[in-house]
Structure 1
Amino acid sequence: MARNLNGYQRALDLFERVVAGVPRDGWDAPSPCAGWTARDVAGHVTGGQHAVRALATGRPAPEVGEDPARFVPGDVATAWRAARKECAAALTADALERPIPLGQLGDLPLGDYLEAYVLEPLVHTWDLAVATGQPSRLDRDLVHHAFATAHVIAAPMREDGRLGPALPAPRGADEQTRLLAFLGRAV
């Protein structure tokens, strides 16, 4: 079965552009993710590539929420590009059909999971952009797709403490602002 991973790739491309725009002294800047620096955010998304590769190869996925900076020692952009390249190489047709467990959501083929995985790198692109003073406007189509995913996964994530409560969005807010507020981010 052919997979449409276009949104996933576009989200990774957007994240990569923001990583490339971080000034050399910007990695210690605080991020909108409580207790995390810009390096931690980049490490979390980079660790996510390691986790996807592990899912593709049937290996245990690393924990990416604890000490995420360990995934980007030294030059962050180099570590990101290496992880992305290794992950892409693991995404064979067979790997994309591999069922992966998603807790309360059941098992899903990896390719289907990645079609919805846009949310993670997209929102953290915003986090990294805000932390490092870069433009934070996200791709509207990806935001729309990510918001649909957020509505499906938010309840279980809030139940186990991986996502805070939603914030009220300002009246008349655009979809990006509503998505970020839904995910607990003050814009």
Structure 2
Amino acid sequence: MDTTDPRPLFARATEQAATLIRTVRADRLDGPTPCAEFDVRTLLSHLTGATVRVAVVAEGGDALAVRPFADGVPDDGWATAYDEARTRAARAWAPDSRLDTPMRLPFGELPGRAALSAYVLETVTHTWDLSEALGHPLELDPELALFALPVARRMLPEERRGEDVPFATARPAPEGADAYGALAAWLGREPLSRA
């Protein structure tokens, strides 16, 4: 049985994302990201909306009832919107009982600790996407990627990729890749400099 408490890692992952989001300038919002279908603005919307979704799940709500994008956020409001979402999520996950409560996610029912681990993975991955889009303005916490990589390998094995899974085929990590490079490769992402 998994006894990992992912809440401290989720807090670190959302703090890292928030720090990076605060560096986004308005002239970068229409720029590309490693998610071909997302520009920076859409990526910020998804990071914020997914964080609201993880709060709703812990509050006992239905993840499927929450759109994983934030609507109506002004271009200068992303840092505030994300901070509000992560504060709500931290509050929702504070009770220890949440870790073993079954939670319904878009991809199935999982115990709380596994559900939150999936959202650590999502946050860490999209933080890398944003960092790539912004030209790596900050050094990313390697321990977060080292946690997220085995979660990704367990939750997104190569044989489960397909039309319903929003990740490309895994590709080999570049020689000398750090944990973020290995995670990005497993999720089928290309750095923007090579895409």
Deviation track 1:52-76 (CA, whole Å, cap 9, x = no partner) reads: 1111122222131xxx352644411
Corresponding residue for residue 29 of structure 2: 27
Corresponding residue for residue 61 of structure 2: 59
Contact 2:9 2:120 in 1 (8 A): yes
Q: TM-score, normalised by structure 1?
A: 0.84
Corresponding residue for residue 47 of structure 2: 45
The one of 99, 102, 111 equivalent to 1:99 is 102
Q: How many residues align?
A: 183
Any gaps of 5 or more consecutive residues in structure 2? none
The range that moved more, 145-154 or 114-123, is: 114-123
Shift of 1:186: 1.5
Corresponding residue for residue 176 of structure 1: 180
Distance 1:144 1:10 in 2: 13
Measured on the aligned residues, the alpha-carbon RMSD in Å equals 2.5
Shift of 1:9: 0.9
Distance 1:22 1:3 in 2: 31
Opposite residue 158 of structure 1, the aligned amino acid is R
Alignment of 1:26-175 (within 5 A): 26-61=28-63, 62-64=66-68, 68=69, 70=71, 72-74=73-75, 75-93=77-95, 94-101=97-104, 107-135=109-137, 137-155=139-157, 158-159=161-162, 160-175=164-179
Opposite residue 67 of structure 2, the aligned amino acid is E
Opposite residue 97 of structure 1, the aligned amino acid is D
Q: Percent identity?
A: 36
Summarize the Cα distance change of 1:99–1:116 in structure 2 as closer, same or farther, 3 Å threshold: same
Deviation track 1:90-116 (CA, whole Å, cap 9, x = no partner) reads: 224144432113577x64322342145
Shift of 1:165: 0.8
Any gaps of 5 or more consecutive residues in structure 1? none
Shift of 1:123: 1.2
Summarize the Cα distance change of 1:22–1:103 in structure 2 as closer, same or farther, 3 Å threshold: closer
